A and B are shown apart, each in its own frame.
Chain A
Amino acid sequence: MRAKRFLRSFPMKLWIILAAIVAITFFSNDFGLVDIQKTAIILAAGIDRTADGFSLTAQIAVPKGSDRTTGGTSSVEIEGQGATVSDCISAIYAKTGWVPKLVFCDLVLLGEEAARANAFDALDFFLRNEYAPDSCLLAVCEGTAAETLKATSAIDDASSLALEKLFSDAAKKSGRVMTTTLREFAIGYYGRSASGYMPYVRMSSQSGAQGGSGGQNAAGGQGAAGGQSGQEMIFSAEQTAVFSQGRMTDVLTEAETFAFSLLKGNVYGGTLPSDGITLAVLRNDGSVSLAEEPTLQATLSVDLKVRLAGRDAPSSLENVAKDSVTEEELAAAESALRGAIGSLWERCAQSECDLFNLRRTLYRRSAAAYGTWKPLSQIGTEIRVRIEGLR
């Protein structure tokens, strides 16, 4: 009797088990096995303008052998050219037979010319492609992106990994670098302010550097690594490229970049150099507001709590123990910072780059307020800087 009942319900049980297996495999993407030998995991993409369109340099991760003495990621750089960035990707596929996988692409580097033409000509592909993460970092580099990606880094196996170290959260908190992602840049570009920024990467040779850092950067595809073949390079991103209507219009200096960081309230633990002293920022309140009456006036405020991080001359032990900063020293620091903020505003006004999204602020306020918008150069400014030491 029991057996009969079991047999009667058996097909349905089998069906349930089958459905469960199918559901589990369906949800876990087990139908989409990835053949690593046929897949190119792109770590970073560098985009340059050419006469006929674009040149895309993909830095592709290459699995290392099982040698336990080496670690990290080695990479090859492959170039593809075409009328659009998508064509470049197809060209890489055609050249190598590797299916380009963009899901791990954490950095898109634009060559200077591509950034000056219109960054979104190049970035359009990444915004459309659902397999490319819009959380990837963006940066502009001096010269061409191909040269930068092909350069041998002194601090990491792959140049893109060295660059990403520069854009870490810790680096951002230092105030020395202003990072942005594709999502943030796209929101700025398509938003009312039509403005944005990216870190500006420069590289310089590491004089006297010997050997690699554990791996090697094998330049592939188009031959030797950039113009600095064999030489180890150090990257810096302390300058910031500013964009208006998608075009790179100017590059902020290091001091202006730091001032921008402070206005955004990003800095924690970063250092502010002043006249003979260096101050460490313990608290950073920054804001940019816009008043409509009587005329449009922007107020740029920075309020800092600092402590002394170092002096350029020997101090008494009592002074070291007290860790105090004089009022004169704080006033000098305030003045220097006020100058950097003023210079930052001037630079943005000249290139009509609404870096602080003031136009968007007005739009969000009301249609009537939005109607009062005028060019940045005609907007009045008030700069408020207050730096307090520890008591």
Chain B
Amino acid sequence: MKLSARQICFFLAAVAPAGKLVLMPSQLVAQTANDLLLPVALQILAQSALVFAVLLLARNGRTVYGMLSDMVGGFFAKAACVLFAAFLLFAAFVPLVEQKILVQSIFYDTLPSYVAFAPFFLFAAYLCAKPLASLGRVWDMLAPLFLVGILGVLLLSVGNADFGALLPVGAAGAGGFGRGVAYTAGWFFDAALLLPLVGKFPYRKGLAWKGALCYLGGGILLLFFLAVYYGIFAEIAVTQLFAFAHMSKYFSGITAMGRIDYLFIFAIAFVMAFYTAMPVQAAVDALTDAFGHRRVLAPTLSTAFNAALLALMLAFNFVPSATVSAITQRAFWIFPVFAAGAPLLLLALSPVLNKRRERHAR
């Protein structure tokens, strides 16, 4: 099963932004106040460049494991894949925590049992056992769903936004900007999510540019969302953990029609559920690429990873804020190491690989 270039573009433009709507806005505002757009703009530009780099890697049609084993041999390539899978599992934790508290707070109207979120892992276990390339058809459906959801929310919200709240620009200073960039790194690792897909879709001329532009397009939508979010909540934005689910309720028609905005919120939450499971799915894919035996290994790893993550979620159930802070504010440096380091290193080494292949060919 192969992905198409269109499906990759759909993911970059209209699935990847879904993962940045829950805790990131309020965490960002805590550091930057009204200057929240600048750090995110920088992250989006950097990720677009990295997406470009990852898609360029796809030109030779080899998987990342295939490239690594040609460069450094099977043993080191396997070790690198294990390390990369460990990073993806680490990166999966914040989206899972986000999903859990989102479901508990938005879909319930009194405090639910803390195991209410557990069924998600059944869904994730199924999804993660499937190869990443099977997501192509899913992205075909999720991308329009996300666009309808986010545009619906924005349409109902934008009238209540006071964009003057974004002024004065630069009030957070260089320190605030720096912290904003560093502490949002935990949400921007989409280029790394693409790495296990390399070699599983045909590279067509211009795909690297198209992919980067699609990511940029999704990023602009995200920036507009953040501007509306801050325009609505201004000084209390830092308290709004699930802004996308609250922003539209101030629309004047809601009092007459009821919470019709829930249709859009559900659409976004549905897309988020797939995005949340994706790092684990990418980890399973990276390992099955390296070790083979996909039919046995994928379900085993999927079950093991999801069971372990469920156990961790229950263990850290009462420290969600500390958990998210530990990952995004203390261990934030891990994200650029893998999300930027891995694709750039592979791209830098690809001439070596090409030379070796040419030599072998002769």
| A interface residues (Cβ-Cβ under 8 A, vs B) | 15-16, 18-19, 22-23, 25-27, 29, 31-32, 34, 39, 99, 101, 103, 127-128, 130-131, 133-135, 169, 181, 183, 186-187, 190-191, 363-367
Chain B residue nearest to A186 in the complex (CB): B236
A22→B123 contact, CB < 8 A: yes
Residues of B within 8 A of A190 (CB): 235-236
Q: Which of B101-109, B179-187, B198-206, B332-340 contacts A (4 or more CB under 8 A)?
A: B101-109
Please count how many residues in chain B sit with their CB below 8 Å of the partner chain's CB atoms. Answer: 37
Cβ-defined contact, B235 with A16, below 8 A = no
User: Are B119's CB and A133's CB within 8 A?
Assistant: no
> Quick check: B235 and A27 within 8 Å, CB to CB?
no
Verify if B44 is at the interface (C-beta below 8 Å from A): no
Chain A CB within 8 A of B112 CB: yes
From B58-66, B90-98, B207-215, B266-274, the one touching the partner chain is: B266-274
Q: C-beta contact mask, B102-139 vs A, less than 8 Å → 1, else 0?
A: 01010111111000100110110011000000000000
Question: What are 10 A-B contacts defined by CB distance under 8 Å?
Answer: A19-B123, A19-B126, A23-B123, A27-B107, A27-B266, A27-B269, A29-B108, A127-B239, A186-B236, A191-B234
Residues of B contacting A29 with CB < 8 Å?
107-108
With a cutoff of 8 Å between Cβ atoms, the chain B residues found around residue A128 in the complex are 239
Q: A32 and B105: CB pair below 8 A? A: no
Q: Is the interface of A mostly helix, strand, loop or mixed?
A: helix
- In the complex where A187-B233, A190-B235, A367-B168 touch, is A131 in contact with B110 (Cβ < 8 A)? yes
Q: Is the CB of A130 within 8 A of B105?
A: yes
Q: Is B167 an interface residue (CB 8 A)?
A: yes
Q: Would you give the shortest CB distance from A167 to chain B, in whole angstroms?
A: 11
Interface flag for B20 (CB, 8 Å): no
B273 and A23: CB pair below 8 A?
yes
Contact A31 B116 (CB under 8 A): yes
Which of chain B's residues have a CB closer than 8 A to the CB of A34? 109-110
Q: Are the CB atoms of A101 and B109 closer together than 8 Å?
A: yes
Q: Which residue of A lies closest to B112 (CB)?
A: A32
Please tell me if the beta carbons of A127 and B236 are within 8 angstroms of each other in the complex.
yes
Give Cα distance in the complex from A127 to B238, angstroms. 12
Give Cα distance in the complex from A256 to B167, angstroms.
31
Which residue of chain A has the shortest Cβ distance to B241 in the bound complex? A130
Separation in Å of the A196 CB from the closest CB of chain B?
12
User: CA A128 – CA B235 in complex, angstroms?
Assistant: 15
**Contact call A133/B249, Cβ cutoff below 8 A:** yes
B250 in the interface (beta carbon within 8 A): yes
CA separation between A364 and B123, bound complex, in Å?
A: 47
Residues of A contacting B249 with CB < 8 Å? 133, 135
- Selected from A15, A27, A32, the residue in CB contact (under 8 A) with B126 is A15
Look across to chain A and name the residue whose beta carbon is closest to the beta carbon of B251. Answer: A135
Q: How far is the CA of A51 from the CA of B9 in the complex (A)?
A: 63
- Closest B residue by C-beta to A134: B246
Contact between chains at B250 and A183 (CB < 8 Å):
yes
Cβ contact within 8 Å between A18 and B236: no
Q: A23-B123, A366-B168 are in contact. List 14 more A-B contacts (CB 8 A).
A: A15-B126, A16-B126, A18-B122, A22-B119, A22-B123, A32-B108, A34-B110, A134-B246, A135-B249, A135-B250, A183-B236, A187-B235, A190-B236, A367-B171
Q: Is B252 an interface residue (CB 8 A)?
A: yes
- Give Cα A31 to B165, complex, Å: 40
Interface flag for B159 (CB, 8 Å): no
Interface string of B227-241 (1 = CB under 8 A from A): 000001111100101
Assembly CA distance A365 to B168 (angstroms): 6
Whether, in the assembled complex, B341 has its beta carbon less than 8 Å from a beta carbon of chain A, the answer is no
Contact B110 A101 (CB under 8 A): yes
A103 vs B167: C-alpha distance in the bound complex, in angstroms? 33
Shortest 7 CB-CB contacts between residues of A and residues of B: A364-B167, A103-B109, A190-B235, A29-B107, A130-B105, A19-B126, A191-B235
**A39 to B110 alpha-carbon distance, docked (Å):** 10
Query: Quick check: B168 and A187 within 8 Å, CB to CB?
Result: no
User: What CA separation (Å) do A191 and B34 show in the bound complex?
Assistant: 12
Contact code string B12-26 (vs A, CB < 8 Å = 1, else 0): 000000000000000
Tell me if B178 is interfacial: C-beta within 8 Å of chain A.
no
Contacts of B73 in A (CB 8 A): none
Residues of A within 8 A of B292 (CB): none
Report the Cα distance A117→B164, complex, angstroms.
Answer: 31
Contact of B116 among A16, A32, A127 (CB under 8 A): A32
